[in-house]
Structure 1
């Protein structure tokens, strides 16, 4: 079983620093690169904190609801949220915590089907009206991948700003000046559309450097099929980018197929970068450069926050999980 000493050795830092990073010590002043490296080594070694190696101590038998922003088919198409859910459920099983799962159904959450629960872990993005609905069922709420009303609710999020900036800095350093974006649209309901965070950072970063070309931005949905169609549309124009940042790996997989069908080479003609580090990303041709998100770890942290709430903590916490850029052969 991996120890903090093993992590410290591979990350080339002290055991104390490793301990403080893995315990979210906000007073610790270290570089983002070292912080990400520690998390990456910890995941590679399958490190578990002492409280995660066995069941977590809880003061009473808990029944926790997991509310999924996606419906079942969307979760299959984009496994990002599935991996977060898996992290919650695996730790819950070890800790003898009962979980009950609720997917979105035609833009609704039929929370009455959950029965009595001690808390809700809400995975995805939700409207104010939906959050109010959840709050009527329980006042113990934890949000994953969004952070509404941070003074009231616990949240677990990733640092999208740093992640996208790192991708774009790499592409510029590699000499790509015509950089495109393939993304999706997010809705919390039929009538409420969200500004997609990766696209917002993408636009701002390149605009500040006078390198934003909006004609290279193509938006559909977060699926393989959409990535394929978006790239076909891009290649059908007179001018296309020489590198594309894809909002998730599923989009990148579809884009790869469209590029190959057009008789073009990756990365010789077009470079690609994905997001999430899907398990298949290392086995595409060529292997996909992507941003690794510690999704199962996010799920674990959500359940730990819920346990702390039910054990009596009343102050809301926001945990920001770093990402790491995995360089492969698609650029």
Structure 2
């Protein structure tokens, strides 16, 4: 079982500060960065306060229930398993933001995972709103919408204007990455990621400039270290290597680093690397990782704000599109 000391080590914050924060000490002043670090460490380590009071950082993992959900309750559905989520800082941060806003507003949070949908359709139906985090199959989306049309999707928008959504602007951020790639006069850019907007922008831009090579475009269903590692190993078998790799996530970039170093090559001397998300360890990688900073914690908070708006009577559907920030570090440098 995780302890306050474990959280302190993960967040690099004193145990006394963490204890006071989790117990809502009104005399404590904590910066937003420290608050985010504490909440993300709490979530990733699965910490639960011994007191388990409603006002503390506690939510309910649902197995199966027939109880109706009250007006101050919200149901969150995560497309990842608990183990997968812990390994993905982006979605861990979204959940932490959701939980933080629920804590602030006194909202009871009930959590479901994808494999629990069928057993909890009544819970979903009775919820005043469902927050669906991640990417779901067409069949799951149809099941959810039939059960409850008051859905707030986070990081996807499968039903368009039929529901609320909180999104990152994948088109804009990938276009900015590719402009930096072009401005740096890269000749063999590579992409490792999923089949979504960033892949489409990469292909469009590289084809327009005569830089597209099918072997340098690796599509995976997972955003993880292993997928980045395997994809990069395959590219390193080519006669002509990429000069820059655009990784769909920083976790993918970690795998890319590993494969490059195992081959005896250097970053950025032989191959440059660009990631996405700006996870906490990105600045500590060797060399530090150039990446696109996103705002997943804030996305989670905004999802709850949209739920509160619904409860206050908002009738129209709403989509919130988050921006990004390109973070220049040593793995990809201006020329």
State whether TM-score is above 0.5: yes
Instruction: Establish whether residue 145 from structure 1 lines up as the match of residue 155 from structure 2.
Output: yes
Aligned mates of 1:302, 1:283 — CA distance in 2 = 31
Match of 2:260 in 1: 259
Pairing 1:237-276 to 2, within 5 Å after superposition = 237-276=238-277
1:290 and 2:300 are equivalent in the alignment: no
Asked which structure has the greater RCO (Cα within 8 Å, sep 6+), the reply is 1
Is residue 140–residue 310 contact of structure 1 (8 Å, CA) maintained in 2?
no
- Match for 1:135 among 145, 154, 159? 145
**What is the CA-CA distance between 1:154 and the residue it aligns to?**
0.7
Change (3 A) 1:90 1:113: farther
Contact 1:290 1:326 in 2 (8 A): yes
Deviations 1:4-52 (A, max 9, x none): xxxxxxxxxxxxxxxxxxxxxxxxxxxxxxxxxxxxxx987999xxxxx
Conserved? CA contact 1:102–1:109, under 8 Å: no
C-alpha displacement of 1:133: 2.3
Deviation at 1:109, TM superposition (A): 5.2
Of stretches 119-128 and 63-72 in structure 1, the one that deviates more from structure 2 is 119-128
Shifted more, 248-257 versus 143-152: the winner is 143-152
Map Cα deviations across residues 217-244 of structure 1 (whole Å, 9 max, x no partner): 1223311112111111111222221100
Question: Which residue, 89, 97, 105 being the options, matches 2:99?
Answer: 89
When the two structures are aligned, how many residues end up with a matched partner? 267
Counterpart of 2:8? none
2:120 aligned to 92, 108, 111, which one?
A: 111
TM-score after normalising by structure 1: 0.75
Match of 1:79?
89
Answer whether contact 1:231 1:255 (CA < 8 A) is retained.
yes
Per-residue deviation at 1:263?
1.2
- The CA deviation at 1:134 is 2.1
Residue matched to 1:210: 210
Deviations 1:250-273 (A, max 9, x none): 110011011111111100000000
Cα distance in structure 2, aligned partners of 1:223 and 1:102: 22
Distance 1:248 1:113, change over 3 A: farther
TM-score (norm. length: structure 2): 0.74
Where does structure 1 lack aligned partners over 5 or more consecutive residues? 1-41, 48-59, 185-194
Tell me by how many angstroms 1:113 deviates.
Answer: 7.7
User: How many Å separate the matches in 2 of 1:170 and 1:137?
Assistant: 45
What residue is the counterpart of 2:200 in the other structure? Answer: 200
115-124 or 241-250: which moved more? 115-124
Preserved CA contact (<8 Å) 2:189 2:246: yes
**Which residue pairs with 1:314 in the alignment?**
315
Aligned to 1:180: 190
Residues 120/298 of structure 1: CA separation in 2 closer, same or farther (3 Å cut): same
Two-structure CA RMSD over aligned residues (Å)? 2.3
What is the rounded CA distance, in whole Å, between the counterparts of 1:109 and 1:94 in structure 2? Answer: 31
